[in-house]
Amino acid sequence: MFKMFSGLKASAAALAVGAALVVSGAAEAAKVRVAFGDIASVESLHLLAAFERAKEQGVDIEVTYLKSEDIAAQAVVGGQADIGVGGPYALVQKVKAPIRMFLQLSTLRFYPAVNAQFYKTWKDLDGQEIAVHSRGSGTEAIMKLMEDRQGIKFSKISYIPGSEVRTGALLQGNVKATIVDSAGRRLLETQAPGKFVILPLEGVSATDEALFANTAFLEKNAADVDKIVEAIITTWREVTANPAVVTDLRAKYKLLPDLPAAQVAEIVPYFQELAQGKAFPLNGGGAAAAKDDFAFYTLSGQLTGDPASLKVEDFWDTRSLDRALAKLGTK
Amino acid sequence: MMAPTQVDGPVRAVHPPVEGGFSLRQYPAFWRMASLALFFLAWEIAGRVPISYAFPTFSATFAAFLSMLFDGSLFAAYGETLQPLIIGIAISGVIGIVLGIVMGLSRSAEWLVAPLFIVLQAAPMAALIPLITFVYGIGLVAKTLAVIMLALPVIVLNGYKAVRNANPSLVAMCRSFQGTKLQQIAKIIIPDASPVIFAGLRLGLAAGFIGVILAELLITPTGIGDLITYHRSVANYAEMYAAVVSIILVSTLTLAALEAFEMRVLRPEKRRG
């Protein structure tokens, strides 16, 4: 009797160990590795918070920070990461990499800024030199688009990577016309009010960052992807309704605890400005965003061919987004 | 140090002569081409497998290379890349040789300066180059400085060792002929040291190529660095590889030309050997 009991105990133990192994194996397989193309900063707080929410829904997310978007895209193509952050249109078109975007995170938000001493309007930039981020970048495409629309011609486009570097150059007077991000714009307005003019920019809409993954991963992990997409759309809508919520989310999930005080003070103004500018895609982009991107990125040189001939399904997998929107409704 | 092995002349002198057949001695050019052809074949196969979506075939890379050559973008890029390289090498050459000679002649100069260059030579420069931008910004000065940081230590240390190891019997001879100190330096030590100093210049140029590319990739993309970054960002991988290969080609050809010049002018005795 005793013997039988001990036998039972042993087999129960074996069963428990086995079950634990299976569970841990499943957990291992379900780990979603996300590759950022940049270090975490104030600008990614809302995304990090959304990932925390997805984690609460049972998605095991591991975030790594790589040096550039290109490298993040290569990591996804090579299978070292599951989900990347960026806009890999060129990679999909030119080398037929089996990756698809599935959620738009942000649209390009840049502000053409000029020294008011020399220029006041777009027309004043005719025949003048401007500075943008790099060749083939979104900032260059925006400036070229405006060149076309305004019927002007820049004498030279020089390349200065880093919006903060261009902002500094503008403040120091090394550059008279350039294009900066919202942090740069705010810096210009606080450091030298009235000294710089922000030129109007209308009708420019293109993806700055999106989430993308291997097609095989999207097939196999649809449930996880759905949860991530839902978490992000919910968070985006919340932040748009009340930008100050980012501070609460940061406190709740202990995100970027080492942020210096000066940057902590930037959080609310940053998200307020983006929320006012409707910079957070409330419906996750999808086919409409893809169409805008085709027009924009063919101009910038990332994509080639006639924008009308490009197919959304070659670049996007909208199934998760469609399911999320069916559940959450569109805004 | 790499210098002494390089100074000993071409590698073929080390091989024993092979008798008859398709020997290395008779057809060195053939075997060199065969080695390259084999490498390109392996590349083509690896590109066709493909080992990665971002890895182009050799033929695609070669086609991209030709198209970049004919549309002038390669020439324009080299026009930009060579600027900091030439300025940096010229400065490093002058300062490096003077410092090297002074250090070779004077123990106190050696103690004062040598440790700095030995440390610089051992330092991982790729980590230091971004720091240059904090002080010198992102312009030509920063890039030239990157070239100097890589090239100068090699040139200085080679010059110093060459002068320090000048043939003592020649120096003794000069003294026994009542040569002045100046004559000893100008007529005996420097001529005797010149082959190794020149080898240092050659190695300095090789390091300068590394410096200028690092600067163009890490500071601001201009010239070849711009071609590499731009084509990578728009996923033109064949063009990106072609740009990388072109810089290898240019630096190899420059160094080979310099070596040929060195053989002809400075060490005619090696040519015969």
Same domain, A80 and A224: yes
Q: Could you tell me if residue A26 is inside a domain?
A: no
Closest residue, chain B, to A169 (C-alpha) = B137
Cα B204 to chain centroid distance, Å, stands at 5
Last residue of a domain, one of A198, A215, A236: A198
Task: Among A172, A198, A224, give the residue marking a domain's end.
Answer: A198
When divided into structural domains, chain A yields a total of 2
Same domain for A120 and A74? no
Judge if A116 and A103 occupy the same domain: no
pLDDT bucket at B4, cuts 50 / 70 / 90 = very low
A261, A301: one domain: yes
Q: Is A108 helix (H, G, I), strand (E, B) or coil?
A: coil
Specify if A13 maps to a domain: no
Min Cα–Cα distance to chain B from A141, Å: 13
Nearest to A95 among B53, B220, B226 (CB): B53
pLDDT band at B128 (very low <50, low <70, confident <90, very high): confident
A74 inside 8 A of chain B by CB: yes
CB contact under 8 A, A159 and B54: no
Name the residue with higher pLDDT: B146 or B220. Answer: B146
- Does one domain contain both A100 and A226? yes
- Determine the residue among A99, A135, A165, A171 to mutate to test chain B binding: the one whose Cβ has the most chain B Cβ atoms within 10 Å: A135
Paired sense of beta strands A207-214 and A83-86, if any: antiparallel
Assess whether A220 and A177 both reside in one domain: no
State whether B234 and A94 contact (CB < 8 Å): yes
pLDDT of residue A22: 45
Does residue A10 sit within a domain? no
Give yes or no for A75 touching B (CB within 8 A): no
Please check whether residue A140 is in contact with residue A134, taking contact to mean a CB–CB distance below 8 angstroms: yes
Same domain, A225 and A294: yes
Domain limit, last residue, from A167, A198, A229? A198
- CB of B232 within 8 Å of any CB in chain A? yes
Please indicate, yes or no, whether residues A183 and A220 belong to a single structural domain of this protein.
no
What stretch of H or E contains A239?
helix A222-241
Residue A24 lies in a domain: no
Domain shared by A168 and A216, yes or no: no
pLDDT of residue A154: 94
Tell me whether residue A174 is in a domain. Answer: yes
User: Taking CB atoms and an 8 Å limit, are B53 and A302 in contact across chains?
Assistant: no
The predicted structure's pLDDT at residue A9:
52
Residue pairs between chains A and B whose CB atoms are closer than 8 Å: 52
**Which residues span the domain enclosing A157?**
111-198
Q: Is residue A287 included in any domain, yes or no?
A: yes
Domains of chain B (ranges, CATH numbers): 57-272 (1.10.3720.10)
Asked whether residue A220 falls in the same domain as residue A317, the answer is yes
Per-residue pLDDT for A114 more than 90?
Answer: yes
Decide if A187 contacts A266 (C-beta within 8 A).
no
Average pLDDT over residues B172-180: 92
A-chain CB neighbours of B232 within 8 Å are 70
Contact yes or no for B54 and A93 at CB 8 A: no
Full-prediction pTM beyond 0.90? no
Asked whether residue A91 is assigned to any structural domain, the reply reads yes
Looking at residue B252, its pLDDT comes to 92
Cβ within 8 Å, pair B221-A135: yes
- Please give the average per-residue pLDDT across A282-307, as a whole number: 90
Interchain contact A305–B (C-beta under 8 A): no
Convert the pLDDT of each residue in A252-262 to its tens digit: 999 999 989 88
Contact A74 B54 (CB under 8 A): yes
Q: Are residues A174 and A323 in the same domain?
A: no
Chain A environment of B54 (Cβ under 8 Å): 74, 77, 91, 95, 97
Report if residue A23 sits inside a domain: no
**Are A280 and A300 contained in the same domain?**
yes
pLDDT of A239 strictly over 80: yes
A38 closest CA partner among A53, A52, A48: A48
| CATH code at position A187 | 3.40.190.10
Query: What's the rounded Cα separation, in Å, for the pair B212 and B191?
Result: 31
Reported confidence tier of residue A70, pLDDT bands at 50, 70, 90: confident
User: Residue A216: is its pLDDT beyond 50?
Assistant: yes
Sign of CA dihedral B180, B186, B192, B197: positive
Name the A residues in 3-42 with CB < 8 Å from any B CB.
Answer: none
Under 8 Å between Cβ of A211 and A32: no
